[in-house]
Structure 1
Amino acid sequence: MFTSDSVVNLSNPVFKKRQRFNRIMLGLSSVAVIFGLFWLCWIILTLFIKGGSALSLTLFTEATPPPGADGGLLNAILGSIMMAAVGTLIGTPIGVLAGTYLAEYGQRGWLAPATRFLNDVLLSAPSIVIGLFIYAIYVAQVGHYSGWAGALALSILVIPVVVRSTDNMLLLVPNSLREAAAALGCPQWRIVMNISYRAARSGIITGILLAIARISGETAPLLFTALNNQFMSMNMNAPIANLPVVIFQYAASPYEDWNRLAWAGAVLITLLVLGINIAARSLFRK
């Protein structure tokens, strides 16, 4: 039973003011959610309406065609897979080891806080800056575009995502587990390998998957590094086709058949990113 001056009394002016403010904020939040979902649904619906009709078996069996001819995106799909795989293989170990240092060995001193700050800067840096950086230090030196340059640019985009996720997940591991292992005489490296990594495994894998999802649709760094290739090529030491650049070029072209392929490529990337995010959330839930 509430007294007359109780805060939660319906006639209390303080309660009425808070209730009114709560309803206003709840209404504004609902409007913001509806506004965001409206545009998201519109984008996805438009994407599948325009790109769904172009999805066919030919898309996965033939290379990009010249204007007016039938073709697919096989060379672009393979090029994107190759560069994303190499970039992930380069960036993931570096990111995991750096995140491990920050969480397990960087409790004292200035190096760990400075590294976290620089990693956050790199995490929010525009991808075109990364592309220009790789162009200056690699492409301009060797004198030609290549798949290796594209993979190197993508690996730099992978590193800060993996560093952040590894650092955060390892910091969530209770210190009591580490102390118990140390009390049994385990060295630090074995505690990290057998205790910390096992406890944070799902979160670390989630960060890696999210990094792959991020680099799957990056166009700007590949324009300065891998460029593109109209023909089927598996040579990583030469310009190589990739989905983001093909979508960029074909969407801006005046040819309707190329426009359809661009929409189809956008659908493929959307489905890939959606699948990776679902897998990441499923792992994180476990």
Structure 2
Amino acid sequence: MTATAPPVTRPAAAGPDLTRAALSGGRRLRNHLATTAIWGAVLLAVIPLALVTYTVVVKGAGVMNLSFLTGDIPNSYRRVGGGMAPAIVGTLLITGMAALMAIPLGVFGAVYLNEYGKQRPLARLIRLMADVMTGVPSIVMGLFIYISWVLLVGEQTGFAGALALACLMLPVVIRSSEEMLRLVPDELRQASMALGARKWKTTLTVVLPAAISGITSGALLAVARAAGETAPIIIVTGIVFAPNWNLFDGSNTALPAQIFRNASTSFPAAQDRAWGAALTLIVIVLGFTIIARFISSRFAIKER
């Protein structure tokens, strides 16, 4: 009888497990690196914003009081004190009129481009012109309104400033609203039409409420840009030292123009007024933001 050697037992292969563990460790490492890079980018973006906000608040709060908000603008940069009531009134009136003209027209234009025009030649032309207008410098728009309106009327008015700001806001509203309308699922449109609703009613009652949050955000960006524009206001509105509530008669002014004029001088009193005007403008834009968020949350379609 010949003895047979016992079978040799080999250890189980651990290759796949080691490979899987190595891959898992590599994924965790890449995830940590990506997370670190994202937070680093966030800090790089937040630090300048925080520094600017802190500087404006610290320097502007020193002159912020009731008399600053209600007083007239001094007719001399050397004078200490004074207020920014004419600029505050002008900013609210001019920006509000510009928003009334640009936002509805921009939203209607976006509805046509996304819901009706699609890729028709007219729709493509409107998109091209909107993209071109988005990159036009604000001073060019101010010169356009000065030639086409101010010289025709013969007077610098607040309405001329509203026209210039509306021209700057319009392409931003059109392009941002169109992108928001594109994000609305086609299933919502099809479901509404399947129930017998016409296209205009589907757009009005289904598509627009579904995109209202994004449209409001785009309109807010346009308003914030318009509220901070300086060149068109200086060119087409003139200058006043007392509040002018009539946009169609007489010169007007706004906070960005006063910030530029007062900050450009070497007098400490004027520079203090510029910091106070900058803080006031930030507060106004923040107020617009809160109001816009409330409107969008009130009329947006709620998930059930």
SS in 2 for 1:200: helix
Q: Is the 8 A contact 1:219 1:245 kept in 2?
A: yes
Structure-2 residue corresponding to 1:187: 198
Task: Give the TM-score normalised by structure 1.
Answer: 0.86
Q: Using the alignment, how far apart are the partners of 1:200 and 1:31 within structure 2? A: 32
Q: Is the 8 A contact 2:233 2:253 kept in 1?
A: no
Q: 1:234 to 1:4 in 2, by over 3 A?
A: same
Is residue 243 from structure 1 mapped to residue 252 from structure 2 by the alignment? Answer: no
Q: Which residue among 109, 129, 134 is the counterpart of 1:118?
A: 129
Shift of 1:130: 1.2
Structure-2 residue corresponding to 1:150: 161
Structure-2 residue corresponding to 1:232: 243
Structure-1 residue corresponding to 2:188: 177
Q: What count of residue pairs does the alignment treat as equivalent?
A: 282
Shift of 1:281: 5.7
Amino acid at match of 2:258: V
RMSD across aligned positions (CA): 2.7
Structure-2 residue corresponding to 1:213: 224
Is residue 264 from structure 1 mapped to residue 264 from structure 2 by the alignment? Answer: no
Q: 1:195 to 1:23 in 2, by over 3 A?
A: closer
Measured against aligned partners, the alpha-carbon deviations of 1:140-189 in whole angstroms (never above 9, x if no partner) come to 33333211110100111221122123212222222222222223332222
Moved more, 71-80 or 253-262: 253-262
Larger Rg, first or second structure (1 or 2) = 2
Amino acid at match of 1:252: S
Structure-2 residue corresponding to 1:72: 83
Amino acid at match of 1:94: L
Is residue 3 from structure 1 mapped to residue 38 from structure 2 by the alignment? Answer: no
Shift of 1:242: 1.1
Q: Using the alignment, how far apart are the partners of 2:212 and 2:134 within structure 1? A: 22
Is residue 253 from structure 1 mapped to residue 243 from structure 2 by the alignment? Answer: no
Task: Give the TM-score normalised by structure 2.
Answer: 0.82
Which structure 2 residue ranges, 5 or more long, are not aligned?
A: 1-13
Structure-1 residue corresponding to 2:111: 100
Q: 1:182 to 1:31 in 2, by over 3 A?
A: closer
Q: Using the alignment, how far apart are the partners of 2:294 and 2:16 within structure 1? A: 48
Shift of 1:121: 2.3
Structure-1 residue corresponding to 2:4: none
Q: Using the alignment, how far apart are the partners of 2:165 and 2:128 within structure 1? A: 21
Is residue 39 from structure 1 mapped to residue 51 from structure 2 by the alignment? Answer: no
Q: Using the alignment, how far apart are the partners of 2:47 and 2:37 within structure 1? A: 15
SS in 1 for 2:16: coil
Q: Is the 8 A contact 1:2 1:9 kept in 2?
A: no
Measured against aligned partners, the alpha-carbon deviations of 1:91-127 in whole angstroms (never above 9, x if no partner) come to 1221011011011102242322332232122223221
Q: Using the alignment, how far apart are the partners of 1:80 and 1:2 within structure 2? A: 71
Q: Is the 8 A contact 2:156 2:251 kept in 1?
A: yes
Structure-1 residue corresponding to 2:177: 166
